[in-house]
Chain A
């Protein structure tokens, strides 16, 4: 809802400070959640978003937004601008050209971005670790760490098995969809 229109804007429009804005998008990706963990915690305390999934969703979205915007911007760039122009000459408004033409064409890219974001979020540790206190809300990444630190001396085989169970969905998704993911990631390189 945010990345797709943002990527469309970066790809299709020329505006002031576009280049610095794009650079900032890339720079923000380089900021590790560890670096922002303390201010993040304090801000979410003020907002009353600790210990609930809503807060987690907001935090995850903010963290992946630069990546998805940058990725989808590259995908939009591979679609010839003439397609927008053809739609506009055909009578579509900007919004109609985006919604009825660009978005369906970009569907594979959006799906790939969603898959990559799901994988990133699945493996996210720092953010849920600082924003959640209740064990019932912990995602699998924190559950694994807690398993390790459990006083009942969990042995290595149990830990290994738990790790495999934790990464199985991610590996499964990647194995099943790797062709589409690689196509989407490399599309800009081939057609750019």
Chain B
């Protein structure tokens, strides 16, 4: 088991394509860290640099306090699970699992012991004599995991191992991988574009965008205290709602104002920036869909503000419903889909009447195009600087 340290790691392709920029990260021994971000953000490149499959343009990578920049992958004591599993099609499962040990001239008895143990751990004993082409996706996934486990490495590296599985199997394998980590205690670095995988599996999440680390935090902290608009919009499903608002001084406190709505700011919340800079100015208000509740079913306190809206679309998820609504014309609002984030669509500053989302109880009596009163929980709002997009509150 070993920790991984990345110091100012940068990867440049060609002359000017920067895939990873000045990445600093300290992964503790035994930690499960997830790199997450949209396609092309540099997460796989960062993982491959740790594995030694990509040269490091500048910076240093340490595995177990040993500098490994110039060490080939075979000498790094790491094992990797690839997105496409990369099983050897001409070998049966037993030979696939034992290949790495055979290459390193481990004794036959020891190879058999480790292969049997890994097969038992992953419940693939009956598959040992089969070839990969007759296995299902989930079985191949397990074999790929088993191939990594038999190595007993210091660090597991996993590059989107679940992306080729169907949704149901993905949920099942998520827990299996996490259980495996709990059992082995090996340091695990996992790459995914799925924020749900990141949130459910990680001890800490590293969010990347365009090669730059946006935030490193536990899933809960990242959900509750995102450092910028990108992280706030990327983590959580449906994504956070953003509304352009004004910060105004009230009688005894500060208020967030948009349209006819005024939300009192809870004073005990910690301001990241000097609040005075933003008083009587514009900020970006962020509020998660789950913090906009239906008024008649929610607890109405002085820490809330009421919105009267007409949902344009109501989606039923079974255990909850999503209300899609617009605010009155003249207010800039935005929610981003993951596809838009991945396409790096710039926020449309002129966009009027963009739809917001509220997560409400399945028992709601709200109807499309009929007014419903919603309550915004002021204790859960986020404020971001309009220009820098950094969190200020």
Contacts and interface: CB of A to CB of B under 8 A. Distances in A.
A6 interface: no
Contacts of B86: 80, 82-83, 85-86
B53 A89 contact: yes
A85 B147 CA distance: 14
A88 B73 contact: yes
Nearest to A82: B86
B74 interface: yes
Interface stretch (B98-106, B176-184, B186-194, B368-376): B98-106
Given A82-B82, A85-B82, A91 B88 contact: no
Contact of B74 (A82, A92, A104, A107): A92
A91 B79 contact: no
Contacts of B79: 89
A111 to B, nearest CB: 13
Given A83-B88, A104-B90, A105-B90, A91 B82 contact: no
A101 interface: yes
A105 B51 CA distance: 24
A84 to B, nearest CB: 9
Interface of B: 51-53, 72-74, 78-80, 82-84, 86-90, 99-100, 103-104, 147, 151
Given A89-B74, A90-B100, A90-B103, A82 B147 contact: no
A96 interface: yes
16 contacts: A80-B84, A82-B83, A83-B86, A85-B82, A85-B86, A86-B86, A86-B147, A87-B88, A88-B73, A89-B52, A89-B78, A90-B99, A90-B151, A91-B104, A92-B74, A92-B103
Contact of B89 (A82, A85, A92, A105): A105
Contacts of B99: 87, 90
Nearest to B75: A91
Contacts of B73: 85, 88-89
A105 B87 CA distance: 11
Interface bin, chain A: 10 to 19
A65 to B, nearest CB: 26
B103 A86 contact: no
A86 B80 contact: yes
Interface of B is mostly: loop
Nearest to B150: A90
A88 B100 CA distance: 9
Contacts of A89: 51-53, 73-74, 78-80
Count chain A CB atoms within 10 A of each CB in B78, B79, B83, B103 and give the residue with the most.
Answer: B103
Nearest to A96: B103
Contacts of A85: 53, 73, 80, 82, 86
Nearest to B78: A89
Interface in A147-169: none
Interface in A46-105: 80, 82-83, 85-93, 96, 101, 104-105
A104 B103 CA distance: 16
A88 B82 CA distance: 13
Given A82-B86, A87-B88, 14 more contacts: A82-B82, A82-B84, A83-B86, A83-B88, A85-B53, A85-B82, A86-B82, A87-B99, A88-B53, A88-B72, A88-B73, A89-B79, A90-B100, A96-B103
B269 to A, nearest CB: 47
Interface string A36-48: 0000000000000
B91 to A, nearest CB: 8
Contacts of A92: 74, 103
A87 B78 CA distance: 13
Nearest to A79: B89
A98 B74 CA distance: 15
B64 to A, nearest CB: 17
Contact of A105 (B72, B80, B88, B103): B88
A92 B99 CA distance: 9
